[in-house]
Structure 1
Amino acid sequence: MTRQPRDTDVIVVGGGNAGFSAAHAAAERGRRVALLERAPRDEAGGNSYYTAGATRFVHNGLGDLREFVEPDERHARTIVPPYSAEEFTADLTRVTGGRNDPRMTELLVSRSADTIRWLAGKGVRYRLMYERQAYERDGGYLFWGGLHVGNVDGGIGLIADHTRIAEHEGVDVRYGHRVTGLVTGNGAVTGVRFETADGATGELTTESVILTSGGFEANPPMRERHLGPGWAKAKVRGTPYNTGELIFAALDLGAARGGDWSSCHSVAWDAFAEHNESNRELTNRLTRQSYPLGIVVNAEGKRFIDEGADFRNYTYAKYGREILKQPGSVAYQIYDATLRPMLRTEEYDMPGISVVRADTLEDLAHGIDVDATAFVSTVKEFNDSIAREATFDPTVKDSRRANVVPPKSNWSWPIEKAPFYAYPVTCGITFTFGGLKGDDDARVLREDGSAIPGLFAAGEALGGLFSGNYPGGSGLIAGMVFGRLAGSVA
């Protein structure tokens, strides 16, 4: 029997970090690769484009990192603690409450260092993230939180680098190609159906399809169905094109669900800034992530989270959910004049930021339309409960606790020096944690554990690593590791 020629060897669906990682791995094996991206070129890059580019991986400290990060004169005055495989594994297990898949975690952690160096060797540029992960101290810099490296120019730079590399490799990148379905034959996935921006339709045949088309975070009805009531109100931080159709198409073929379909990555997000969804100019700058330094109150003037429970890297992806639960799905980050200079400048000094400034706490409450008596009482109770004998040090868990309900476990500083600042925040959804179930090669599995021939998944489309929360920077490295695995065998 004569085999019909295929249009290409590997089809990658989705042009974000995971998709390009898969394409690079397949191309270096000599495979013909077509990458189909739903968005037009000027809107492409998936959620990866909107990130700060922070990437978590195992390393041995600054000497190890200097082999591939961009040079910086500050390196000579910088301390970067090593980040071990044991720490990475423990962080994943701790922040997900032990609901992370152990085998996926092992693969991610053990391959993280080699994978990031593989991409750096191809021309993806990295640097130390001074503005996000270090505080200046005694004329030098100390990094904290296990997340030290990011992309030059953030997610925008990451996608630019990926695109340049793919074009050099001869990957056939097709923009404005929405994959509308999977083609099957003899129990295997043999191609895709697509529709172009001008309405033309067609099919491409292939040996393997790798789904890197994201989760369902930009699909309000699916959010309501799987995450719960109220989730339609969340602001979409990233691409509007991650609507989950191909996850559901794979489920229709008998694929098994992987991971936690009831939770997602969600953050504190500017509530009232103009154009605060899918903003390709400001991207990640609409997050408000200096909350561990101050306090957060709801529209009733009451605190509702432990702002200092852990380093920001380990709490920020779950606190968006807590804001969504508050009256009006809005809250206010509160700082005083002492704390204000310590806030991340790229987020709190961005153009068009929502902020209220006042010379008294009463006036601040009026400015954010919160009951002044309740608000001032909350601040006074917080101030009076701080263990002031403990040293305030944002580079470590300093145990400077405020014994209120809920407590603030670290970094408690009194809100007492005028002027005072309130930053209104809401819930910004990043990506959903539920996806497809995969094996060690990112092959999509059925409920009985068998693989669907010809079908792979990576990135947000592959579930299992995260539940309820995640350690910052784990999403990008997961896309790289599992994208590379898929592309290495597809």
Structure 2
Amino acid sequence: MHDDRVDVVVVGSGNAALCAAIAARESGARVLVLEKAPADMAGGNSKYTAGAMRFVYRGNGDLIPLLRDPADPRLERTDFGSYTAETFGADLLGFNDGRPLSREQQALIEGSYDALRWLASHDVKFEPIYARQSFEKDGRFVFWGGLTLAAQHEGVGLVEAELTAFLRLGGEIRYEHAVTDLLTEGNTVRGVRFETASGETGEIRAGAVVLGSGGFEANREMRRRYMGENMAAARVRGTPFNTGIGLQLAFAQGAEPHGLYENGHATPMDLHTPEYGNLDLPHDERKHYRKICYFLGVMVNARGERFVDEGRDFRNYTYAQFGRAVLEQPGHVAWQIFDAKVDPLLYAEYRFHDAHFVEAETLDALIEKLDGVEDKAKLRQTLAIYNAAVDDSVPFDPTVKDGRGTKGLALPKSNWAQRLDQGPFKAYPVTGGITFTYGGLQVGETGGVVHAEGHEIPGLYACGELVGGVFFNGYPGGSGLTSGAVFGRRAGTGAARFAGMGTEAAAA
């Protein structure tokens, strides 16, 4: 047993938590980060991401200050386009099921570019996502979908850069320290209780606590309770440590659930992906369990039926929903089918040495190899009807929503529809992998957790996946990490101010 005293305790060590820690430390607070995982597994879900961040920008000039290599010669022939606040808002509204933009979404939009500039000021910089977000057209790199930059070395690189920034500022992190309870004085949170991996227990007294410990996606029983049996069957794409402890600690202080608990980010994954994410793989291999090129082919279930409009929108806007759609199919499985025309366009994850697929020279032969398909005759019919419905009069163009769709199908393919007619053909079996949950807590304008009675709980702040109301029925890719930065920065600054370490102390 030992005791400590700091100004701000941050629970967790992912992107949002580290942004909170950096913000609190630059405000002058003594900051301690407590992380349940050992050092090699720390970093929360952020380490498992591709490191992309969506934000408002006006053009190439806004991106240059954010770049790790502003002298990259490719920049001279790159069209990043622009991404306005209005477009970001429209993209979020597309997943709101008729809801207006929430207060949290408005804060995300308004704070997105400032958060990236702020990170860059701490030497957390980025590089263009040429491999996944651009196509070369007429000698120029054309970016699509409003998503342009990612951290060098993806999520691992982002977390490492943020941790380096925090430590450079004089912060401290302790691994294998699981927070088990909050300390209170009256109705004010004044620290945490913890238990180490060796069973040691102790207390940390603090002026404020920031919860940045992620959602509940790694807790199968909480997934079943809030999201249903299909989501209980999901693979967990990220850390096994996001078990909902932050929510439980906040509920014990009177916080009320906020946001859409039944939904979460779920991505199509290789059927044989591990139960949890695997940090032992190099960063450029972990992502290869994803299978998100369905927009270039068709996706069918065990009944031999298509079940989503694969070309409804850029995959940035659909992959977080289509993982759940796969989980809702019989056996929680589907197959993505492609022909030779699009094979060169498939991302590296489809050529990964551990990618599972079957291949055949004809569609009939391919179908015979799909052991899990219950009705092969129905699948032959589905593919024949799809091929006959493709509108060949519209040119195929993967850099835009090309309008090359199908005609007369009850479930259309709205863009990038091409006949499956050139062998060899490939089919990739997929399931759904959950990335993070959408339900969380309500936070105030400085990141304070709101009590069920409407007031903020003194001394308690939250960020990252714990902020509810940011996403509802999906999200535009890259928004999650940006949300972590926006709300993490806010929570860290608010916690430092509450602890008595406001801007006056920082200036002193």
Normalised by the length of structure 2, the TM-score is 0.93
Tell me whether 1:481 sits opposite 2:481 in the alignment: no
SS at match of 1:430: strand
After superposition, residues 392-403 of structure 1 pair within 5 angstroms as 392-403=396-407
After superposition, residues 180-191 of structure 1 pair within 5 angstroms as 180-191=180-191
Q: Is the 8 A contact 1:99 1:467 kept in 2?
A: no
The residue that corresponds to 1:314 in the other structure is: 317
> Take 2:436 and 2:100, find their aligned partners in 1: how far apart are those partners?
16
The residue that corresponds to 2:448 in the other structure is: 443
Percent of pairs identical after alignment?
47
> Take 1:475 and 1:99, find their aligned partners in 2: how far apart are those partners?
19
The residue that corresponds to 1:124 in the other structure is: 124
Offset from partner CA, 1:32-53 (integer Å, 9 cap, x none): 0000011000011100000001
After superposition, residues 344-363 of structure 1 pair within 5 angstroms as 344-345=347-348, 347-363=349-365
Q: Is the 8 A contact 1:238 1:283 kept in 2?
A: no
**Cα distance change, pair 210–100 in 1 and its aligned pair in 2 (3 A):** farther
SS at match of 1:150: strand
Which residue of the other structure, out of 323, 328, 347, is the alignment partner of 1:325? 328
The residue that corresponds to 2:395 in the other structure is: 391
Alpha-carbon offset, residue 98 of structure 1: 4.0
Q: Is the 8 A contact 1:144 1:395 kept in 2?
A: yes
The residue that corresponds to 1:278 in the other structure is: 277
Offset from partner CA, 1:125-173 (integer Å, 9 cap, x none): 2011011111111221110101111111100110111111111111110
Q: Is the 8 A contact 1:20 1:162 kept in 2?
A: yes
Q: Which runs of 5+ in 2 are unaligned?
A: 496-508
Offset from partner CA, 1:43-70 (integer Å, 9 cap, x none): 1110000000110000112222122213
After superposition, residues 334-483 of structure 1 pair within 5 angstroms as 334-345=337-348, 347-369=349-371, 370=373, 371-403=375-407, 404-483=409-488
After superposition, residues 221-232 of structure 1 pair within 5 angstroms as 221-232=221-232
Tell me whether 1:303 sits opposite 2:301 in the alignment: no
> Take 1:431 and 1:167, find their aligned partners in 2: how far apart are those partners?
27
SS at match of 1:362: helix
> Take 2:204 and 2:376, find their aligned partners in 1: how far apart are those partners?
63
The residue that corresponds to 1:14 in the other structure is: 12
Offset from partner CA, 1:347-387 (integer Å, 9 cap, x none): 11222111111111122112221243222221111111011
Write the letter of the residue equivalent to 1:279: N
> Take 1:100 and 1:25, find their aligned partners in 2: how far apart are those partners?
30
> Take 1:459 and 1:100, find their aligned partners in 2: how far apart are those partners?
21
The residue that corresponds to 1:245 in the other structure is: 245
Write the letter of the residue equivalent to 2:259: G
Offset from partner CA, 1:316-336 (integer Å, 9 cap, x none): 101111101111100011100
Write the letter of the residue equivalent to 1:480: A
SS at match of 1:63: helix
Alpha-carbon offset, residue 6 of structure 1: 6.8
Q: Is the 8 A contact 1:271 1:424 kept in 2?
A: yes
Deviates more, 1:124-133 or 1:372-381: 372-381
The residue that corresponds to 2:236 in the other structure is: 236
Alpha-carbon offset, residue 297 of structure 1: 0.5
Alpha-carbon offset, residue 285 of structure 1: 2.2
Q: Is the 8 A contact 1:100 1:464 kept in 2?
A: no
> Take 1:252 and 1:68, find their aligned partners in 2: how far apart are those partners?
40
> Take 1:170 and 1:339, find their aligned partners in 2: how far apart are those partners?
51
Alpha-carbon offset, residue 405 of structure 1: 2.8
Give RMSD over aligned pairs.
1.3
Count how many residue pairs are aligned between Structure 1 and Structure 2.
484
Offset from partner CA, 1:175-220 (integer Å, 9 cap, x none): 1111111111110111111011111111101011000000000000
> Take 2:321 and 2:471, find their aligned partners in 1: how far apart are those partners?
11
After superposition, residues 134-283 of structure 1 pair within 5 angstroms as 134-273=134-273, 275=274, 277-280=276-279, 281=281, 282-283=285-286
> Take 1:276 and 1:420, find their aligned partners in 2: how far apart are those partners?
29
Alpha-carbon offset, residue 101 of structure 1: 5.3
Q: Is the 8 A contact 1:267 1:321 kept in 2?
A: yes
The residue that corresponds to 1:290 in the other structure is: 293
> Take 1:185 and 1:276, find their aligned partners in 2: how far apart are those partners?
41
Write the letter of the residue equivalent to 1:359: E
SS at match of 1:427: strand
Write the letter of the residue equivalent to 1:29: S
> Take 1:434 and 1:80, find their aligned partners in 2: how far apart are those partners?
33
> Take 1:124 and 1:87, find their aligned partners in 2: how far apart are those partners?
26
Offset from partner CA, 1:423-453 (integer Å, 9 cap, x none): 1110100011001111111100012210000
Alpha-carbon offset, residue 100 of structure 1: 6.5
Write the letter of the residue equivalent to 2:8: V
Offset from partner CA, 1:286-339 (integer Å, 9 cap, x none): 111111111001112210100011111111101111101111100011100001
Write the letter of the residue equivalent to 1:457: A
Normalised by the length of structure 1, the TM-score is 0.97
Q: Is the 8 A contact 1:219 1:242 kept in 2?
A: yes
Q: Is the 8 A contact 2:89 2:101 kept in 1?
A: no
> Take 2:382 and 2:237, find their aligned partners in 1: how far apart are those partners?
31
Q: Is the 8 A contact 2:129 2:149 kept in 1?
A: yes
Write the letter of the residue equivalent to 2:188: A
Which residue of the other structure, out of 29, 32, 39, is the alignment partner of 2:30? 32
> Take 1:194 and 1:99, find their aligned partners in 2: how far apart are those partners?
40
Q: Is the 8 A contact 1:100 1:467 kept in 2?
A: no
Alpha-carbon offset, residue 105 of structure 1: 1.7
Write the letter of the residue equivalent to 2:299: V
Q: Which 4+ stretches in 1 moved above 6 angstroms?
A: none
> Take 1:234 and 1:102, find their aligned partners in 2: how far apart are those partners?
28
SS at match of 2:37: coil
